Chains A and B, each alone.
Chain A
Amino acid sequence: MKAFTYERATSAKEAASAAVRTPGAKFIAGGTNLLDLMKLQIETPQHLIDVNGLGLDKITPTADGGLRVGALVRNTDLAADARVRKDYGVLSRALVSGASGQLRNKATTAGNLLQRTRCPYFYDTTKPCNKRQPGSGCAAIGGFNRNLAVMGTSDACIATHPSDMAVAMRVLDATVETVNAASQTRAIPIADFHRLPGATPNIETSLAHGELITAVTLPKPIGGTHIYQKVRDRASYAFALISVAAVIQPGGRGRLAFGGLAHKPWRVESAEAQMPNGAKATASAVLAGARTTSQNAFKLPLVERTIGAVFEEAKA
C-alpha cells in the first residue's frame, strides 16, 4: 500500500472541500473495496477523507411516500430495514445475495454504487487495462472473459459492474443525491449515474471531482412481486454470472433490470412491453445488440432461462 495522509471529515461540505483541495484525495466509508484495491496498488490515493462521521446513516421517509437512504447506511441495515423488506423486497433480496455477512456489515450504500469492476485484468497490474491505465489497452478482450460484459461494451473495455444492490435500485428507479464543495446539490437518476465504457472506461460515473454522494432516494412503492434471481458459480459469496431484478405486476407486466451483463446495471425499458409475451420475447428485446465472446456467449441463453424462472416464480 502506498503511504497516505488521513483526516476525519465532520460535514459533507467539509469533506467535498477537502477532496477538491487535496491532490490525490479519496473518500473512504466502509473501505471494503478501496482498501483491497489499495493493497494491490490499483488505487493509490495520497489522502483519505473518512466520511463515516457525517451522520448520513439514516433511512427516512420522503415527502412523496418513498424512502431516503443515507449514503452511509450499511448494506446489512438497508437489507434489514422493515420498510425496505415490505415495500422494496427486490432491494433487500439483492443486498443479501451479495458479498458476505462481514462485508455487508461494513459496506455502505454509496460505496456499493462506487465499487470497481472485478474484471481479472483490472486486478492484474502486469496486464494492460484501459480502466486502470487509460490507453494501455484491454487484455480482457481476447483473454479470459467468461464473466465479462455482453451489452454496451466498447473496443476499449468489456468490464461489468459487480453490484447487486445497484441492479435493484435501477429497477426501482432510484435517484442518487450529491453535494459538492460549493454546497450545490444534484439529484442524478440511477440510469444516468453509471456510464458505459466507450473510449474512457476509467470514468465510471457521472460524479464530478469532489462531488460526494449523500443519499439514494427510492420513489414511493410500486407494489407487485419483487424477485432478485442471481445465477453464479457457487451458491453463496460469489459475483453474478447474470442476475435479474424484477418487479412483476398482476397480468405479467412489470420491470426488469440485469446484473452481470454490462458496465452498468442493465435495463431496457422498451423491452418490458414484451413481458406478457414470455421469456423468449423479453430476452430477445433486452439483448438486442449483444456482443459476445466465445467464452461469455452462454450469458444470452442464461438470461432467457433466468427470466423464465423469474416469471414462473412470480406466478407461483
Chain B
Amino acid sequence: MHQDEGFPVSRRGVIAGGVASATLVAAPAAAQAQTQGTAQSAPPTMPVTLKVNGRTTKINVDTRTTLLDALRENLKLTGTKKGCDHGQCGACTVIVEGRRINSCLTLAVMHEGEEITTIEGLGTPEKLHAMQAAFVKHDGYQCGYCTPGQICSAVATLGEIKAGIPSHVTGDISAQPTVTTDELRERMSGNICRCGAYANIIDAIHDVAGTERSA
C-alpha cells in the first residue's frame, strides 16, 4: 500500500501482532459496525467513491461506517486517529472540501466524490508539510497520538483566520482576525492533547504563520 512506503514496520502491525487478537485483525470493520439485532438480515451496505489525498477509491461500506473508519479500515490510511469517537477530542480531524471536520461524526456515504485531505496527504516523511516540520522543530507532541489531528486542524485554522472567519476571542468581529496566541488557543480548543504539549503546538503554529507567541 502506497501510504505504508517508508514504514515497513508500522505501530499498528506491532500492536496487532503483540496482542494477537484475531478478531481485531481479521474483522476490523465489525469493531464499529456492531450487528446486534440484525442477525437475520445483513446490514445495509452502499457503494461510495472517496477522493482522498488526490486518489479516488470506490468502496462498498456498511451505511454505519464513519468517514474515520472508512479511512482507517477500508483505505488503510491509519494516520487519522480514533480518540473519543464522539467529536470531543479532535484526533480524527481531517480536511474535507477545504474545511476541517471530525471524521468520527460523519458517515462515509455522506462524502461521495468530495475532496478529502488526511495527514498522509499534507506531506510525506521525505517532504514534510511546513506544519509537520514545525511540530518536529518545536516538539509539539509527546506520544504523538493527537498529532495528525492537531496538524490538520492547525493547517485549517490558519486558513480560517486568513478567510476572515471570526472566533470567540476576536475583539472586533467585523475586522480581519489576526494570528495571535489567544486566537490560536481558542481556535484549536477542539483538539485535546493528553500529554499537554499545548505550548509547543502554539509555537509550531506561530512559526508557520510567521508570528510570535505572546504570554
Contact = CB atoms under 8 A, between A and B. Distances in A.
Contacts of B153: 101-102
Interface in B150-188: 153, 156-157, 160, 163-168, 170, 173-174, 185-188
Contacts of A136: none
Contact of B166 (A1, A6, A96, A235): A96
B37 A32 contact: no
Contacts of B187: 101
Contacts of B185: 236
A35 B99 contact: no
A4 B34 contact: no
A100 interface: yes
A97 B160 contact: no
Nearest to B65: A1
Contact of B190 (A35, A96, A97, A100): A100
A76 B165 CA distance: 7
Nearest to B112: A8
B150 to A, nearest CB: 12
Nearest to A92: B173
A106 B44 contact: no
Interface residues of B, number: 47
A101 B156 contact: yes
Contact of B109 (A3, A6, A96, A101): A6
A89 interface: yes
Given A85-B166, A236-B185, A105 B101 contact: yes
B107 interface: yes
Contacts of B164: 80
Contacts of B174: 82, 85-86
B166 A28 contact: no
B125 to A, nearest CB: 26
B64 A1 contact: yes
Interface in A55-74: none
A5 interface: yes
A80 B165 contact: yes
A3 B64 contact: yes
Interface of A: 1-6, 28, 31-32, 35-36, 39, 48, 50, 52, 76, 79-80, 82, 85-86, 89, 92-93, 96-97, 99-103, 105-106, 235-237
7 contacts: A3-B64, A35-B107, A52-B110, A76-B99, A79-B165, A79-B166, A100-B90
